[in-house]
Structure 1
Amino acid sequence: MQRLRVRLCLLVALPLMAASVARAEHFVIGVEDVDYAPIMSTVDGEFRGYARDMLDLFARSHGHSFEYRPLPTRRLTVEHLGARVDAVFPDNPAWEADAKRGQHLAYSAPAVPFQDAVMVPADKRDQPLHELGIVRGFTPKRFLPLIEAGQLHVTEAGDPARLIRMALAGRVDGVHVALPVARYQLAQLGQPAALVPSPALPAATYEPHYRLSSIRHAELVTQFDRFLREEQPALTELLHHYGLDERLAPAVSPVSPARR
């Protein structure tokens, strides 16, 4: 892992430092305090995963220092609008839209491509779903018509690991979670094939979702966008390292954000 970080750092450091338009600074980045490994997780207060390595790589390339502040999902926007953090990751214009109304936030381009799926027991893949497990604080907007019609009931859990165990125990019919996160958790349990994507509720590509945002540092977001464009080879290698380049086939069209 350390060798990978050094190699990726060398790939981006020189070209991006030469192109930097803003001076090196210290920034406090608000991040979600949620176990969404391998995309991101917080272990003993330490932010980890692909998102951490990606942001660290970006910071080093411009000489910035990032301090990560894990916060509950619902508090991120409050802390951001209150100027208690300099930027937030992940964020999206559609999340907490009412609270942000009238505010001028800068958002980066999509930063983390992945697919969300409803994972169901492999031996029950063709059965109808009535009870759907979701991570607390995440709103499955594409399923709202089914929920409002009473055809689908939602049960919440604090993190994907608990959701996966609920599905394996038969407490819910399926769980709504990022596909690489589900695969990671199943591998950790030694049951990689126990849950599969539901054919009844197909996977959705959420590339528009995870963005960097800032209400006070638009120049940081501009730098990050350039980083995403110019360092695709390094980021592709990092995605592969975390298993985030695996997709379902065939791919499906992007849909509206499923959180908050």
Structure 2
Amino acid sequence: MLGCFAWGRYVGSLGLFFLFLSGAALADHSDRVLRIGVEDHAFYPLFSFTGDEQKKSVLETILECFAEQYDVTFEYVPLPITRFKHWYEKDHIDFRVPDNPLWNSEQSESLKFSEPMMYLSQSTVVLAENQHLRLQQFERLGTLYGFTPSQHWQSRIESGELELVTDSSIKLLIRLLYSGVVQGLDLDIAVVRHYAEELGYNPEQLVLADGIQQSTIGYRMSTLKHPALLKQLNEFIATHEHKIQSWLDAKGINAVGE
């Protein structure tokens, strides 16, 4: 279990309300609950907002420790990724996590973004026997429903040369990979290995396709109305860089930089 510097208290409200107390006061926000829109599925160990203290994700730990230090109260609001672009206008949230300017071409001018809290690896996870497949040899690729495929796959998907198989269950996608229905998963390898192990598979059988381009994308916090808090978060990220890295190392998350 990842540890913070002080302590946090979980308050149950549909299993997704967290109250964090202690640390230095942030006067502008300490008297109200700030609503953070989060994806309504788990992507552990990167993010998972279930309130399970024994299975806390890195992104949740970062936000919890920030909240403790700056006396902020967060409510995590699980929302469907298919309505991601409409969360602010429809669901009255204060922040969105994770977020990135690349996902917001229509709103990028009005949205403000923090510095990256951590990075997602955009890579192709395959069984070890398929490690040397080249991009042109892939015929079926899996990813989560609502996720945007990595850029290097786009032209083959659009031309019909590559079939994109999507599902809302990462465990189903992993079963499809092990059974050969798909040749690879366009997902972070640390996440795929975690759920493969839960299913009873040997995670060491999962590797990155060495002939496919790898890239990373930063997980940031966005807001329309609270840039001052983002400034505080940026300070927190900068001053706790080594602590955050230790949490990432503990979970086997190796993506660095964009």
Cα distance in 2 between the residues matched to 1:174 and 1:180: 14
Matches within 5 A, 1:28-67: 28-43=35-50, 48-67=56-75
2:204 aligned with 1:193, yes or no?
yes
Contact 1:117-1:197 within 8 A present in 2 as well:
yes
Q: Which residue of 2 aligns with 1:70?
A: 78
Matches within 5 A, 1:1-260: 1=1, 4-6=2-4, 8-9=5-6, 17=24, 20=26, 22-24=28-30, 25-43=32-50, 48-82=56-90, 84-98=92-106, 100=107, 104-127=110-133, 128-140=137-149, 141-188=151-198, 189-206=200-217, 209-244=218-253, 246=254, 254=258
**TM-score normalized with structure 2 length:** 0.81
One-letter code aligned to 1:109? E
Cα distance in 2 between the residues matched to 1:199 and 1:125: 6
> Aligned pairs, how many?
238
Shift of 1:231: 1.3
Shift of 1:130: 0.8
Cα distance in 2 between the residues matched to 1:157 and 1:88: 23
Does the C-alpha gap of structure 1 residues 193 and 73 become closer, same or farther in structure 2, counting only changes over 3 Å?
same
Relative CO higher for 1 or 2, CA cutoff 8 Å, sep ≥ 6?
1
Deviations 1:194-238 (A, max 9, x none): 2221123132222xx311001111111111111111111221222
Cα distance in 2 between the residues matched to 1:199 and 1:150: 23
Shift of 1:44: 8.6
Cα distance in 1 between the residues matched to 2:117 and 2:152: 21
Q: Which residue of 1 aligns with 2:15?
A: none
Aligned to 1:148, the other structure's residue is in SS state: helix
Q: Which residue of 2 aligns with 1:257?
A: none
Aligned to 1:30, the other structure's residue is in SS state: strand
Contact 1:76-1:88 within 8 A present in 2 as well:
no
Cα distance in 1 between the residues matched to 2:248 and 2:52: 23
Aligned to 2:84, the other structure's residue is in SS state: helix
Identity of aligned residues (%): 26
Does the C-alpha gap of structure 1 residues 83 and 161 become closer, same or farther in structure 2, counting only changes over 3 Å?
closer
Cα distance in 2 between the residues matched to 1:72 and 1:45: 20
One-letter code aligned to 1:9? A
Structure 2 alignment gaps of length 5 or more? 8-20
The alignment yields a C-alpha RMSD, in angstroms, of 2.8
Cα distance in 1 between the residues matched to 2:238 and 2:138: 40
Cα distance in 2 between the residues matched to 1:227 and 1:50: 15
Shift of 1:184: 1.5
Structure 1 alignment gaps of length 5 or more? 255-260
